[in-house]
Amino acid sequence: MDTATRLLRLLSLLHSRPQWDGAELAARLEVTPRTVRRDVTRLRSLGYPIDAEAGIGGGYRLGPGGRLPPLLLEDAEAVAIAVGLRVATTTTVSGVEEAAISALAKLHQVLPVRLREQVAAITAHTTQLPQGELPPVDGDVLVTLAAGCRHVEGIRFRYRSRDGGESERSVEPLQIVHTGRRRYLVARDRDRQAWRTFRVDRIEHPVLTGSRYRFDDPPDPIALVAEGTGVAPWDIVARIRVHAPAATVAKVIPPAQGVVEELDAATCELRIAANELGPLAGQVTRIPWQFEILEPPELRAAVHDLARRLLDS
């Protein structure tokens, strides 16, 4: 590679993950560590803040600020980004719509005609169902939470509960989960010493604390959000043994509708919830496999009654 190509490749590598060992970069670029050091110096002179630490555990990383590294995109990647930006113009994240439109305009200026036609074909024949009125998510809040997850750094914020009460929280963030309608932060609450899910639209003034941490046995974020949104808020929780593999059941019943736990290779337990027996009985009758209602017994009676009425109709 010539120098310019190598510098672009080095920037792309530094952008792809938080830290690189000098020997790794040299191997990827097929140069000596000394050449890597010279290239890092060149990039710094161009305005890219690259931090370096010597010794075990050290290496190179792209620091905050400075210039945005150039992106080298394949054709398929450029089309994917353009389509994603079009979707982002209708997002509930405040401040993102205008930025997405601006970025899309810049991208279209440099897209080859053949790729522009692909993007136009996809968007012209794609329609999004209206989501109803959803509370907006502050874009700055989302960025701060994502930074905490990426850099394994603690966060403090003010949180508004369902009943309107406010509290100060200090958490160790794990991941942001998007259910399709809302975003949730999965984090370990330091004061309560327990895992919690927080609706992102109820989080205010998040601040990175600088404290680092490590998870020894973190939970499945999707399962935790499914438990907190699909089961916990409801009055009646049903436990159902389904005679089908858990992976098969999970493909038909997504986390937003129920929690699936494997019992053995051929059976699993499904938990679904509602505030009344009627809707819950209707959900049970749509299970396409053989099943047994474990609890509550009132649900079993309601399903039997529904079955008799269907047979008599």
Residue 146 covered by a domain: yes
Among 229, 263, 282, the domain boundary falls at 229
Question: Are residue 240 and residue 289 in the same domain, yes or no?
Answer: yes
Report pTM: 0.59
Give the domain CATH number at 163: 2.30.30
Specify the number of domains making up the chain: 4
Question: Are residue 221 and residue 248 in the same domain, yes or no?
Answer: no
Print the domain residue range for 242.
236-312
Question: Are residue 180 and residue 250 in the same domain, yes or no?
Answer: no
Q: What is the pLDDT along the chain (313 residues), one digit of tens a residue?
A: 788 888 888 888 887 787 898 899 999 999 999 999 999 999 888 888 888 887 766 789 888 765 666 666 778 888 888 888 777 766 667 667 677 777 777 777 778 888 888 888 887 777 766 666 677 788 788 888 888 988 889 999 999 988 888 999 999 999 988 876 788 999 999 988 899 999 999 999 999 998 888 888 898 888 888 777 767 667 888 999 999 999 999 888 888 788 888 999 999 999 988 888 888 888 888 899 999 999 899 998 888 888 888 888 7
| Token code pair at residue 65 | 């600020």
Question: Are residue 142 and residue 212 in the same domain, yes or no?
Answer: yes
CB 177 within 8 Å of CB 225? yes
Residue 132 covered by a domain: no
In degrees, rounded to 5, the angle at the alpha carbon of residue 123 between the alpha carbons of residues 118 and 124 is 95
| Token code pair at residue 309 | 């009425």
What secondary structure does DSSP assign to 198-264, as a single string? EEGGGEEEEEEEEEE---SS---HHHHHHIIIIITTSSEEEEEEESS-HHHHHHHS-TTT-EEEESS
Of 48, 23, 26, 44, the C-alpha closest to 35 is 26
Residue 40 covered by a domain: yes
Among 188, 213, 229, the domain boundary falls at 229
Pairing between β-strand 203-212 and β-strand 236-242 as defined by DSSP bridges: unpaired
* Residue 6: Cβ within 10 Å count: 17
Residue 244 covered by a domain: yes
Residue 67 covered by a domain: no
